[in-house]
Amino acid sequence: MSGKDMIGIAETGSGKTLSFLLPAIIHINAQPQLHYGDGPICLVLSPTRELAVQILEECNKFCQSSGLRTTCLYGGVSKRAQIQDLKQGREIVIATPGRLIDLIDMGVTNLKRVTYLCLDEADRMLDMGFEDQMRTICGQIRPDRQTLLWSATWPKSIQKLARDLCKEDPVHINIGSMELAANKRIKQHVEVLDHYDQLQQKDDMTRNIIGQYTEKGKVIIFTATKKCADELARKLYSERIDAYAIHGDKKQEERDWVLQRFKGGNGTVLVATDVAARGLDVKDIKCVINYDMPTNIEDYVHRIGRTGRAGNTGEAYAFFTQDDARMAKELINILKDAGQEVPLELERMGPGSYNDRKKGKGKRGGFNNFGGYNNGGGFNGGFNGGYRRY
């Protein structure tokens, strides 16, 4: 509220959205009113459509009393309604970078009145390859703007972006550790799978977990590919489990419908790619399942952060295979920092042990050593028989 540029780093679910919306409303109320042809006063950039829509919903809760108008710009839908909103004038615009650039190039809007710029989930925008688009947009905004950069992590790429886009000596507010860390209110379980029939192992464990948590609330399952998300959702739905899939190839109308069903229903299951890993805020998510591990540890932390939000507790499961061994060291650190138990099999895949095995110096204990087919009575035994539960 002092008008200084700011960098805010905090864990997922800690309330970053409202912390930039309320000062934005106060800032806008202190500016001259919009005239015909003026662009927005506040611009919020978001990496995904779902997060942009979620920010808009929060905006609308607080903007009505001030008479501020808002709109949300994202791809996958017709530009007509968005163009009409911009021509009528909107004090706050929430946008994904690609659609905003398209509308600017069409001459529908401009950024000459923007004095309050917010980059939400900046680390995710960089991961998604939006850096050039972000810099292009920021280059069209007046230099005397106030810039706020929000992120859950503080890697070197974000530090460089902050140096380039913010004025000298921005205020840096960090909640918690500067290092990547998981929410300690989330109980993490890592299930290390053997090479043999991993798909069947994953499916059996997924059913067991869903059976435990859907009566208490909602479950999100993350997959590596869009095809896997669709196939798993169909498989669960055929077993009378209320499951729906969401990913980037689905039409916006279908994505909106799926999210509405997931938010409104109790005991529902959402199967998603990383499109739902950032910013998605849904009440009563009791459990997150990493059906496939992500490609980096940051996305793992964001995925499990869909539960345990706003002071609540939650649980997260990860199916870890030999193909994920390169992430073992980082995952072990995340678990230890959060005070979680580290499975022995994961420790064996960590630094040193993994390299020794590749050189033939050691041998992994194998699935049978902790309750596989031979010791657990088959997969029908679930966690209490076929698997050890960590």
pLDDT of amino acid 234? 95
Query: Do 1 and 30 meet the contact criterion of CB atoms below 8 Å apart?
Result: no
Name residues whose C-beta falls within 8 Å of residue 108's C-beta, 6 or more positions apart in sequence. 83, 86, 87
Non-local CB neighbours of 243 within 8 Å, separated by 6+ positions: 232, 233, 236, 237, 268, 269, 270, 271
Q: What local confidence, expressed as pLDDT, does residue 266 receive?
A: 67
pLDDT of residue 91: 97
C-alpha 301/C-alpha 225 separation (Å) is 18
CA nearest to 11, candidates 279, 317, 275? 279
What domains lie within the chain, and their CATH numbers? 6-174 (3.40.50.300), 186-385 (3.40.50.300)
CB 367 within 8 A of CB 193: yes
The answer to whether the CB of 290 falls within 8 A of the CB of 274 is no
Q: What tokens appear for 270 in the block?
A: 């959402």
Using only the alpha carbons of the chain, give its radius of gyration.
23
Position 14 scores a pLDDT of: 72
Q: What is the pLDDT of residue 375?
A: 38
Number of Cβ atoms within 10 Å of the Cβ of 252 = 15
pLDDT tens by residue, the chain, 390 residues: 889 999 998 766 677 888 999 999 999 999 999 998 899 999 999 998 888 998 999 999 999 888 999 999 999 889 999 999 999 999 999 999 999 999 999 999 999 999 999 999 888 888 788 999 999 999 999 999 999 998 877 778 888 888 899 987 899 998 866 667 778 899 999 999 987 889 999 999 999 999 998 888 899 999 999 999 999 999 999 999 999 999 888 887 888 888 888 988 766 899 999 877 666 778 889 999 999 999 888 889 889 988 988 778 999 999 999 999 999 999 999 999 899 999 999 998 877 654 444 444 444 444 333 333 333 333 333 333 343 333
What is the predicted pLDDT for the residue at 13? 66
- What is the pLDDT, as a whole number, of residue 219? 95
Residue type, position 234, single letter: R
CA distance 250 to 387: 35
pLDDT value, residue 151: 82
Q: Between helices 131-138 and 156-165, what is the axis angle to 10°?
A: 10
What token pair was written down for 346? 């994961």
SS3 state at 260: helix
For residue 135 the two structure tokens come to 């810099």
* pLDDT at res. 278: 66
Q: Which helix (H) or strand (E) holds 45?
A: strand 42-45
> How far apart are the C-alpha atoms of 295 and 137, rounded to whole Å?
29
